[in-house]
Amino acid sequence: MVEGTVTRLVIDRDRLAGVELDRGSVVAPAAIFVRPRFVASNGLLTGLGCQVDGNGWVVVNQRGRTSVPGVWAAGNAVDPRAQVITAAGAGSAAAIALHADLVEQDVQRAIADARPFSAALERQVTEAVLADRRHGL
């Protein structure tokens, strides 16, 4: 194993012939392993004002809710380890939570807008629905 910072790849006839290190030495490789560098793709979410952690990953709760109301995130936007299937599962879970949140908002709005039931309201609804077809009321 050779440690160092790669400054360039030495290519000969379309093949990797060596790796030049920052010390100036060229190492002929038998095999090369490169650690992936994960970078958060967070431009849209940070543009909306979402909070990120020290590494740039968007911070969410267990259900995928971000620090911005109405904004949800999942998968590899929030977790560098999330591969396709994990990201898809997290996206599905966030979508379910988002739907539940929207339903809750609708219920609260309906409750706030509801008029209390009364005999006068029943009479008004009956007249609007049945008009002269009503009988016995």
Mean pLDDT confidence for 96-121? 89
* pLDDT at position 34 over 70: yes
Q: What is the pLDDT of residues 13-24, one digit of tens each?
A: 999 999 999 988
* pLDDT at position 136 over 70: no
* pLDDT at position 92 over 90: yes
pLDDT band of 135, cuts 50, 70, 90:
low
Write down the pLDDT at residue 113: 85
* Across 92-101, 104-113, 122-131, least confident range: 122-131
- How far CA 92 is from CA of 18, 23, 64, 82, 87, in Å, comes to 45, 49, 10, 13, 9
Q: How many CB atoms lie within 10 A of CB 7?
A: 12
Across the chain, what does the average pLDDT equal?
Answer: 89
Element (H, E) at 27: strand 26-27
* pLDDT at position 134 over 70: no
Q: What is the pLDDT of residues 52-84, one digit of tens each?
A: 999 999 999 999 999 999 999 998 889 988 888
Nearest Cα to 52, choosing from 37, 38, 41, 63? 41
Write down the pLDDT at residue 137: 52
Write down the pLDDT at residue 129: 87
